Amino acid sequence: MEFIDLKAQYQAARASIDARIHAVLEHGQYIMGPEVAELEGQLAARTGARHCITVASGTEALLIALMALGIGRGDEVITTPFSFIATAEAIVLLGATPVFADIDPATCNIDPACIEEKISSRTRAIMPVSLYGQCADMEGINAIASRHGLPVIEDAAQSFGATYQGKSSCNLSTIGCTSFFPSKPLGCYGDGGAVFTNDDHLAGAMREIRVHGQSRRYVHTRIGVGGRMDTLQCAVVLAKLERFDWELKQRQRVAASYDALLSGKLGLVARPRDRTNVFAQYTVVLEQRERIDAALRAAAIPTAVHYPVPMHLQPAYMRWSSPDAAPVALAMSGKVLSLPMGPYLSDADVFEVASTLLHTLGETVPARCELSAAAT
């Protein structure tokens, strides 16, 4: 069993992926070839955002978004401490200060109630993360931001395809940033990402920053980066988009099967009714995480911890906040465990994972036939 089975996905989508890759090899426009604009058009249409600009990675997306907003030395950006390090990294790379607001223990996303007290005269942006494939409380966050005249950058690296109050992740705030890292719900075969906005001015700035701040060839209007997504990776995402809706349904199927077996027996990340989840991770909350993780691994079931150390306690990041800045994030970092997830995970595999987990917890394991009954 794989934690995320990318080989099965390739086998299923092979004809289309191979054809797309070969088309690029034949036309030879490896940088900014026609697939780049084609993908940007499709992603903009899917999210409803006016502009989509593909970039070299999810990390680059965050960096370019912050640069377009003019964030730099002396500025503060409020974000969650419970995320992949890239979220805070993009802030500090620009000389700005990450200010960590604690999370809601139910959803593991930034808690809007913790944001307001962190706002200072130096605050320049709020950067929530839509963790595990589920949007943060964007309504609450946007309301605070608009009271203080602040832009909001959604780190949607894990949530492309999710919806919030009927609107698409990536199109819920000033700028949305996503990633096409291979293991994300929509992935390529290397690094890739995209930024989204409805603001023409910010879109223009991000387009220039992506290519060395160039407004015309050899005219560098602003400081930029080498931040393009290459044509081959865009071609891979275009091929994978053909089955993305089906894959999201399969992720829901896997999650529903896990739910049927596990809910009531252990903690689950809460799923508010106003949002859909693309299950970048299916994460459970355990009081004895290390013991249970060891038992799963002994049974050859791959697991992952997202994330074992909150960012404010990472050695390189501790200088920006006190160690007790986010007690909820610290507590959750000791309890969360992500189970195998993906569109190609079979019901039998789900049953094996869940029954091993229940057995380790000392819970009764239902017969296989009861699962089928519960899932239908």
Residues that bind ligand PLP (CB under 6 A): 57-59, 83-84, 86-87, 129, 155, 157-158, 179, 181, 191, 193
What is the nearest approach in angstroms of ligand PLP to the Cβ of residue 124? 19
> In terms of CB distance, is 85 or 299 closer to ligand PLP?
85
Q: How many CB atoms lie within 10 A of CB 37?
A: 13
Tell me, what DSSP letter sits at residue 173?
Answer: S
DSSP 3-state assignment of 255? Answer: helix
- By 3-state DSSP, what share of the chain in percent is helix, strand and coil, each rounded to 5? 45, 15, 40
CA distances 64 to 67, 134, 206, Å, are 5, 23, 6
What is the nearest approach in angstroms of ligand PLP to the Cβ of residue 4? 13
> In terms of CB distance, is 110 or 129 closer to ligand PLP?
129
Tell me, what DSSP letter sits at residue 260?
Answer: H
Which residue do the tokens 């903690």 mark? 267
CA angle 9, 244, 228 (to 5 degrees): 90
> In terms of CB distance, is 155 or 230 closer to ligand PLP?
155
What is the nearest approach in angstroms of ligand PLP to the Cβ of residue 184? 6
> In terms of CB distance, is 119 or 131 closer to ligand PLP?
131
Which two tokens mark 284? 């459970």
> In terms of CB distance, is 87 or 321 closer to ligand PLP?
87
Which residue do the tokens 């307001």 mark? 116
What is the nearest approach in angstroms of ligand PLP to the Cβ of residue 123? 21
What is the nearest approach in angstroms of ligand PLP to the Cβ of residue 56? 8
What is the nearest approach in angstroms of ligand PLP to the Cβ of residue 258? 21
Q: What are phi and psi of 338, to 5 degrees?
A: -95, 135
> In terms of CB distance, is 206 or 260 closer to ligand PLP?
206
Q: What are phi and psi of 197, to 5 degrees?
A: -160, 160
> In terms of CB distance, is 91 or 119 closer to ligand PLP?
91
> In terms of CB distance, is 108 or 260 closer to ligand PLP?
108
> In terms of CB distance, is 190 or 366 closer to ligand PLP?
190
Instruction: Give CA–CA dist 199/349, Å, rounded.
Output: 45
Which residue do the tokens 């942006």 mark? 125
What is the nearest approach in angstroms of ligand PLP to the Cβ of residue 196? 15
Question: Which residue number is nearest to ligand PLP in terms of Cβ?
Answer: 58
Q: For the chain, what is the total number of helices (H) and then of strands (E)? A: 13, 14
- B/e letters for 143-179, b = 16+ CB within 10 Å, e = fewer, are ebbeeeebbbbbbbbbbbbbbbeeebbbbbbbbbbbb
Q: Which residues contact 81 (CB under 8 A, 6 or more apart)?
A: 88, 100, 101, 102, 103, 310, 311, 312, 313, 325, 326, 329
What is the nearest approach in angstroms of ligand PLP to the Cβ of residue 70? 21
CA distances 104 to 56, 285, 335, 352, Å, are 31, 13, 14, 31
> In terms of CB distance, is 158 or 355 closer to ligand PLP?
158
What is the nearest approach in angstroms of ligand PLP to the Cβ of residue 313? 17
Strand partners, 152: 126
What is the nearest approach in angstroms of ligand PLP to the Cβ of residue 65? 11
